[in-house]
Amino acid sequence: MIQILKIVGIALVVAFLQAFIINQVDLGFWLHPMPYLVVLLILPINFNKFGYLFTAFIFGTLIDLLSGSFGMHAASCVAMVFFKYHIENRFIDFESLQLQGESYLKIHSKGWPVFLYYTLTLIAIHHLVCFSLEFFSINYLLDILLSTVISTVGTLLLILLYKNIFNH
């Protein structure tokens, strides 16, 4: 129960940080970091699949309501969590994480290569869906791809900064 309250608290703080600070700062045309994805990355591994999807939808809807983006973040978060479940089942050994006492994948539990592959893949899926919905035209394919790549790196750097500051 304490872990759930901790995740809800982190979610609210990061949602307000995203909507009222990060979205208001102009970082360029292609850089749109979204550090709120850390909330979806720290969800427990023993959580129900439909609980993941429902949580992602509610959290994405909260981000949409705060930033006025009409469902882009909700759809992106649901797509990310859908693929997160499949990526975790395919590449991560749950039993070894649970034996280590971990509730989600951390850098020290499997090492840098696995952590980077896992987080970069999920962040790229989220950003690809988000920017495809934002631009919503095949004419902007280059902008979608460049925004996805540059924002994925920016988001990963902010998530790593968060993990170092708060020792997650």
Sketch out the chain's domains with CATH numbers: 2-166 (1.10.1760)
What is the predicted pLDDT for the residue at 104? 67
| Rg from Cα positions in the chain | 15
Mean pLDDT of successive 10-residue stretches along the chain, which has 168 residues? 77 80 71 81 79 88 85 90 83 68 64 79 89 79 83 85 74
Locate all alpha helices (DSSP H) within 2-105, ordered by sequence: 2-17, 37-41, 49-67, 72-91, 94-99
- Rounded to whole angstroms, the Cα distance separating 73 from 84 reads 16
What is the predicted pLDDT for the residue at 101? 62
Instruction: Give the number of C-alpha atoms closer than 13 A to the C-alpha of residue 13, restricted to the C-beta side.
Output: 9
10 burial via Cβ count (<10 Å: 0-12, 13-18, 19+): middle
Phi-psi region of 136 (alpha: psi -120 to 50; beta: other; left: phi over 0): left
> Are 130 and 76 contacting, i.e. CB atoms less than 8 angstroms apart?
yes
Token pair, residue 133, equals 């919905």
